Amino acid sequence: MRLCKYLKVIFMVLLSATIFTVTVHKVSYEHFKNLVNNSMVDHIFPKEPCACVERCLAASDDEWFAKRFRKDVSPVLALSNSILPEHIFKWWQSLQSRSTANYSQVIKELFSVVPGEEWYRDAGPSRCRTCAVVGNSGNLLGSHYGPFIDNHDFVFRMNKAPVEGYEKDVGSRTTHRIMYPESASHLDNNTHLVLLPFKTLDIQWVTSALTDGSIKRTRFKVINQLQATRDKVMVMHPAFMHYVHNTWLHIKSRRSYPSTGFLVLIFAMHVCDEVNVFGFGANSKGTWHHYFENTPKFFKRTGKHSGGIERETILELQKRKLIDLYTGW
């Protein structure tokens, strides 16, 4: 299995060097319709959930996965789904210090600045959206995953993780950067911002950071005016965060909550058809550190995150062939 994954990476690297464009993950459902009549297509591909060849999350009949994966939970806040059930609102508020701000007013102000429609509800038989979730582990160094990562439709990165200088191992493309105010960085015009709102103030911050810059401090000093394209800004739904906490991790402690990396992984599984994961876990020497650190440090403590449960769940997803987990050489 591990050898097959390495051969796949090498194959993708070789593909990136050729002058021809070859798509190995997709097969066009519409193209088949042009070749044969609709009845033949429906017979050959009955109720085809997506157009991916290797794997299609929507097609999984795995019982373990079915007990956890809920298509009805929207991953992104929108005007139409912004009302929170009381138990979810209380859980969300408990993650940080309680806010006296009026949530409804905060949402109204948010969607006066950024799009208010639901994102990524376009799943279907003609779509094959491949996604790379790129963590920050030191196991990326020397991996040469860069061209393979860049070949995905969506490339998710977290917080301030740099790309420049590490392209051969981590890739050069970023379609979505997931952050919270304290980990924010400026974005180019092609990158979506996905805000992780751990408190009401975080949503107030993104509205402010895209307008008047009035909020200069949350838990500590933050970027008060952010370079980002307003039309590419979205906010992860607090109800989605609660769902990951309760359904995927079964965390009982109110003081614990999912890590950014795990939230992004489940987010990707909801908006993508095929998910590949890079840069999670320790390196080959067992050291846990960020690939961009000059002096690697051990940090096995996971603070308020249930690191052990998250790791076991990710390995289970890999075992059941629901994702591919790439852990370096």
Question: If you ran DSSP here, which 8-state letter would residue 246 be given?
Answer: I
Q: Which of 145, 180, 257, 326 is catalytic?
A: 257
Please provide the DSSP assignment of 175-192 as one string. SEEEE-GGG-----TT-E
Q: Write down how long the chain is.
A: 329
Query: Active-site residue among 176, 192, 305, 326?
Result: 305
User: Catalytic annotation on 6?
Assistant: no
Using DSSP, state whether 21 is helix, strand or coil.
coil
Q: Is 257 a catalytic residue?
A: yes
DSSP 8-state code for residue 146: H
CB–CB of 279/136 below 8 Å?
yes
Could you give the residue ranges of the DSSP H alpha helices within 36-144?
38-44, 63-66, 86-94, 103-110
Listed as own residue / partner, the contacts of 153-158 with beta carbons closer than 8 Å and 24 or more positions apart are 153/129, 153/272, 154/129, 154/130, 154/268, 154/271, 154/272, 155/131, 156/131, 156/132, 156/194, 156/264, 156/267, 156/268, 158/134, 158/183, 158/260, 158/261, 158/264
Measured CA distances, 182 to 75, 95, 244, 270 (Å): 21, 15, 22, 26
Collapse the DSSP code of 228 into the 3-class scheme (helix H, G, I; strand E, B; otherwise coil) and give the result: coil
The answer to whether 83 touches 108, Cβ cutoff 8 Å, is no
Beta strands 154-158 and 324-326, pairing class: unpaired
Query: Which residues are marked as active site?
Result: 257, 305
